[in-house]
Structure 1
């Protein structure tokens, strides 16, 4: 969770939420200790201070994702084993869901989305090859930017196919909704996803162009 996670009571559950950058399997401060306030839209109050990623932080996250992709076990892993880790990741969220089931953002709907995409990707890969390696052209590091609406669902939709195919990701959540992605990053580490496979960088739109210029 990193130091001093934010604690919130949601639907009679105490939820601890990390608020730093997630790079190479660890929660870390942004360069220079830069932060910004995450605002509760219902009353305009600050939920917490969130680390504000700088260009150098993007470089570190990309380097970690490249190393995990080129030298790590993720891309070389049997697709079924990768799928088991992804299912474990999402199941850990569903078992501790603070959001009521009738909600459109029901986290177990995320499990359905991840599961359906994952099964399709695994079937595709198992048809092509029994062992996927980083030499295959459809594998690489993916830079992902998601919007603020339905942040958990957007994270699932955009990362599921990438991860199932053996890619690693650097993801920027919307500036106004960073905490869901950071909680998901914590659960990724707990589920056993290797270091560097998932990197989460809250921040402003300033460094989005930096991601697009990187050779990833």
Structure 2
């Protein structure tokens, strides 16, 4: 029987209007940076210029924080049920405009439209719906009888899930009565600016949400601003450590969700086809631009050859190309800088003796692309087994016993996530109890729910986002847990 031939199925980019230039969103209005500075945002799939975006400086950050401080007095005084109305309204508008947002996200970020449309946008709306439900029930969250909002939250988000990371942070902050100054990543500012317009459409009071765009210098100014009460950051461990040093000695609350080097562990009794799908989802979803990506595959020796053969067959079917094509599995790498890092680490894997394999794959001539890649013959000493690559690169190691699997999985400075594939429930529980990771998935990978707390420890950060534990990061209650205590409690939330 002949296989069906591939035919492109492009999503129209005309469904979203991208302005030639964008200002900062401060106190309910868009405005240019005080010094008129701006930067260019590109589409990583084609390197075309999408827009010019204002570069916020110290004066702009100060204006945004002051606007958030003014708005805090009235926003925090609103009954929770009233705040919930705004969050419900935002969630519904996101659903109504999800097609626009999905196309915008894929253009600015490079991820396949199928992922932004079917995963990112539904999860974004779900977070606002979920936290809207908490807004008038905070006294029942176990964080004290009358928990209070902290004040102004400075939130710095990454480029891999721009809109989703925004939702993870903005929704609980607003539900708890805080106001927000958000700093999106320099390479993916457009969906945050679109969200600012959603806030205006929802009638959100001026100053409750402010968006300052810019590079790392803008983020540093925001984190260090004395008018900020809470800092939330998702990104690299290196930057997270710098933020922790900045905040140290102040009374600012801090949560960090940082890097990872997750182990995806396949036992000899696992259903191979199901496990292979989980492996592919774990490392090639969003081009591997996922902090909790299963970038280390630990497979039991007795089935290693069978699993690798099936994995290679599956990888050969992955389609790399135009992010707006609904058939695309792997889109563009987000930036030239990230592509250079992925390439350097993959080259180091070869230089250190690991065996590299990629399926036959024709990459587009323009843009930033990297073929799905796996390495065999990897040891725990290889850089590709130790360092976060943040790209579509899988390192394969083997083990003989469950104890060896645990030892190898835990042999990392990170502690964000892990996956276990086996038909034995007792083995899943035994492994989960010993894996030093904030989240452990069983016979699945990369599954998220707003009601389930997510986060890591060790060099993957501290604090939780989502669920009841995530509320603690935005509330001040004398009898309630601190961020760090909540982190320890959440270590076993899987």
Does 2:146 align with 1:144? no
Aligned length: 200
- Conserved in 2, the CA contact under 8 Å of 1:144 and 1:169? yes
Matches of 1:126 and 1:66 in 2, distance apart?
27
Q: Provide closer, same or farther for how the CA distance between residues 175 and 44 of structure 1 changes in structure 2, counting only shifts above 3 A.
A: same
- Conserved in 2, the CA contact under 8 Å of 1:105 and 1:150? no
Matches of 1:35 and 1:12 in 2, distance apart?
25
Among 109, 112, 122, the alignment partner of 1:108 is 122
- Could you tell me how far 1:138 is from its partner in structure 2? 3.1
Task: Tell me which residue corresponds to 1:165.
Answer: 176
- Could you tell me how far 1:119 is from its partner in structure 2? 1.9
Task: Tell me which residue corresponds to 2:199.
Answer: 188
Task: Tell me which residue corresponds to 2:17.
Answer: 15
Larger Rg: 2
- Could you tell me how far 1:137 is from its partner in structure 2? 4.4
Among 124, 136, 139, the alignment partner of 1:122 is 136
Deviation string 1:6-55 (CA, Å, 9 cap, x unpaired) is xxx94551435572100000000001211100011001111011011111
Q: TM-score when scaled to structure 1? A: 0.84
Deviation string 1:72-111 (CA, Å, 9 cap, x unpaired) is x211111111111111112112112223676454423211
Q: Provide closer, same or farther for how the CA distance between residues 10 and 105 of structure 1 changes in structure 2, counting only shifts above 3 A.
A: farther
Matches of 2:193 and 2:140 in 1, distance apart?
31
Deviation string 1:168-211 (CA, Å, 9 cap, x unpaired) is 00000000000000000011011011000000011010132222
What is the alpha-carbon root mean square deviation over aligned residues? 2.1
- Could you tell me how far 1:121 is from its partner in structure 2? 4.2
Matches of 2:217 and 2:179 in 1, distance apart?
22
- Conserved in 1, the CA contact under 8 Å of 2:90 and 2:128? no
Matches of 1:120 and 1:85 in 2, distance apart?
13
- Conserved in 2, the CA contact under 8 Å of 1:25 and 1:196? yes
Matches of 1:36 and 1:149 in 2, distance apart?
19
Task: Tell me which residue corresponds to 1:153.
Answer: 164
Task: Tell me which residue corresponds to 2:218.
Answer: 207
Matches of 1:181 and 1:126 in 2, distance apart?
31
- Could you tell me how far 1:124 is from its partner in structure 2? 1.5
Structure 1 residue runs without a partner (length 5+): 1-8, 130-135
Query: Which has the bigger relative contact order, CA under 8 A and spacing at least 6?
Result: 1
Task: Tell me which residue corresponds to 2:84.
Answer: 83
Among 29, 40, 56, the alignment partner of 1:53 is 56
Matches of 1:48 and 1:12 in 2, distance apart?
15
Q: Provide closer, same or farther for how the CA distance between residues 35 and 56 of structure 1 changes in structure 2, counting only shifts above 3 A.
A: same
Structure 2 residue runs without a partner (length 5+): 1-10, 103-112, 229-494
Q: TM-score when scaled to structure 2? A: 0.38
